[in-house]
Amino acid sequence: MKIAVLIARILLGFIFVFFGLNIYFHFLPMQLPPGDAGTLMAVMFKHGWFTFYGLFYVVGGILLLIGRFVPIGLVLLGPVIVNILLFHITFNMSGIGPGVVVTILEIFLIYAYREHFKALFTAGWLR
């Protein structure tokens, strides 16, 4: 189990650091998707939303790669992954594959680090 967690953590961290740095340095060419999906992405790029979004990618990915504060990294990447899935479900279903992969990795890592998230799933007012 430890090896699977290590592989999942490094893989998920690398994916988000790589694509987060691509937001800033544009080393991977990207073409806007057609239709409403492309329009939404163009607006987000124009108004700097992806610059802020890229910060979550990079910081969350680095936390996973270095292995310190992994639960915080998972918490930072959780909403990003939900946005990726919702974007692809509502606008561009053909590109959902990578989103599903990072979702599976995220869920697996949350399960592996479930002791750190235990307080989130207990009713505090019942104690």
pLDDT value, residue 77: 98
pLDDT tens string 103-117: 999 999 999 999 999
| 26 domain residue, yes or no | yes
| pTM for this model (two decimals) | 0.90
Closest listed residue to residue 35, CA positions, set 90, 83, 84, 82: 90
Closest listed residue to residue 58, CA positions, set 98, 24, 25, 16: 16
pLDDT value, residue 120: 79
pLDDT value, residue 126: 57
| 113 domain residue, yes or no | yes
Q: How many separate domains does the chain show? A: 1
pLDDT > 90: what percent of the chain?
71
Those residues with Cβ within 8 angstroms of residue 33's Cβ, 6 or more apart along the chain or in another chain: 41, 91, 92, 95
| 15 domain residue, yes or no | yes
Q: What is the mean pLDDT of the chain?
A: 92
| 71 domain residue, yes or no | yes
Helix-then-strand count for the chain, H and E: 6, 0
| 75 domain residue, yes or no | yes
- Answer whether 44's CB lies under 8 Å from 50's CB: yes
Segments forming the whole domain that contains residue 48: 2-117
Indicate the length of the chain as a whole number: 127
Distance CA 41, CA 45 (A): 6
> Hey, how many other C-beta atoms are within 10 angstroms of the C-beta on 10?
13
